[in-house]
Structure formats: structure tokens, C-alpha cells
Chain A
Amino acid sequence: AQRVTQPEKLLSVFKGAPVELKCNYSYSGSPELFWYVQYSRQRLQLLLRHISRESIKGFTADLNKGETSFHLKKPFAQEEDSAMYYCALMGSSNTGKLIFGQGTTLQVKP
């Protein structure tokens, strides 16, 4: 069964500090992993996907198959990064099923 776990409901850091939002998954095959973000008063939107191996708004995420993790990182947090972040998984069985974790609220303090 597919499962995504985000262990932290709230992560609070000061501006300029490093950020790491944790995501662990459970899946027997090779999944696709994503991070979605919801800024205040905006729609939930895609931030990045592991297959693109890109950096968006300074955020990166590396898929670690050994640890079944896909943590989201940024070296220096900005106040505008404050938002709700969701990790998501789509299994390799090609069902198209996309499931999300519980979400982590990132609060960047000035």
C-alpha cells in the first residue's frame, strides 16, 4: 500500500536559517515523489517533482530510496516561504493514484 508520512505538523524557523521538511514514504515499487505548496489565500500548487531534479525558489529535494525519504530543503529560509507543504506520491503501477501526506506548516519568523 502507498503511504506518505510527514512527521512534523509545524516547523518554525528564523529568516536565514536552513529548512528541512521531512517526508517518508512506504511503497514497494519505484514511486514518483512530489512537493506541493499552499501559500496563504492561494491554491495548492506543485513546487517540485523528483524526476525533474530541479531547484525551485531555492528548494531542493532528493529521493533516497534506501531510507524511503524525500525531504525538502532550503539553505536560507525567507519569510515568503511561510506556507503549508505537502509531500505526495504516485506509484509506479501507473494507476495514476496520487496520495498526499498530512502536511507541514512552515513558519518563517523575521
Chain B
Amino acid sequence: SAVISQKPSRDICQRGTSLTIQCQVDSQVTMMFWYRQQPGQSLTLIATANQGSEATYESGFVIDKFPISRPNLTFSTLTVSNMSPEDSSIYLCSVGGRTYNEQFFGPGTRLTVL
């Protein structure tokens, strides 16, 4: 299994500002995933980030709002841009396992936008 860390673990931000969330994996992985979990809700996939190519966004998510970087095989960032209170969520990154399709998740970043 992979060990994944995220920074920051939580933050409180003002409307209109941006926050960059970091995800670090202890091994090289091809695909990394970013999810959003709104309060009391399930997880929704934002985008898939492959090293060396542009991220692939899911319906309802756009690059201008959630730009993603993937500079190497162990690291990725997700930026939540021009934040509004509706962006208050837990943001989680994950990586695929070596067998089948199980995924390993980071501890999440709890974001509150005032």
C-alpha cells in the first residue's frame, strides 16, 4: 500500500482567495486522483492527474477553477481558485493500487471558506 500525505490538513480562507493543496506519495505512481467531499456528502472525482500530461477533469469541474500540477511521479497539487463558501469541503487525493482498482487515500484537507 502507498503512504500519502496532504498539506495543509485544514485551512480557513476568505472568499475570493485561492488555496493550493499538496499531495505527496511515498512511491512512484502513474495516476493520482483528486476528490471533493462536500459536508455530509460522498466523494466526487474532480480530476485524474497523470505525470507529463494535462489533467483530465470530470463533468462539472474546470481547469480554471481547479488547476492541477503533476511535476513528477510522487507529487501533485490542486488549487482551489477564487473560492466561495460553496467550495467548503474536504479535498482528498488518492493513488491506484498495484492490483485491481483499489485506491489509497490521503488524510484529506478540510477547507472552510468564509
Is A bound to B?
no
Name A residues whose Cβ lies closer than 8 Å to a Cβ of B. none
Name B residues whose Cβ lies closer than 8 Å to a Cβ of A. none
